[in-house]
Amino acid sequence: MSAASRAKSAKARATIFLRYLATVQDLNRRSFFDCLEMGDGEEVVREVRRRAKSNPETAALLRRRSYGFWLEPGYIKDAPGVPQ
């Protein structure tokens, strides 16, 4: 069982997701995909986007690892009341 499957929240899975992006070369692993496939993948993406908006290093990491499209306006609806 991966750390992402054991994590209790989307926020925790977002942390694990970003750690994988920063440290693992080959992301084609079940443990990586578990970060997004635990029933709250949209919440994980929203949390990653939120962090990237306030941290240029996180945004650069997403772009470098081919997840920059997550940062595009309209890619995913942010939670109600959160500006795009």
For 16-65, what is each residue's pLDDT tens digit? 999 999 999 888 888 889 999 999 999 999 999 999 999 999 999 999 99
pTM for this structure? 0.86
pLDDT at 81: 55
Would you say residue 79 has pLDDT above 80? no
More confident site: 68 or 1: 68
Q: Is residue 83 part of a domain?
A: no
Q: Encode burial over 29-64: b for 16+ CB neighbours within 10 A, e otherwise.
A: eeebbbbbebebbebbbbbbbbbbeeeeebbebbee
pLDDT at 41: 93
Q: Is residue 36 part of a domain?
A: yes
Number of domains into which the chain is organized: 1
Q: Is residue 30 part of a domain?
A: yes
Q: Is residue 19 part of a domain?
A: yes
Domain span at 50? 3-71
pLDDT at 27: 86
Q: Is residue 54 part of a domain?
A: yes
Q: Is residue 20 part of a domain?
A: yes
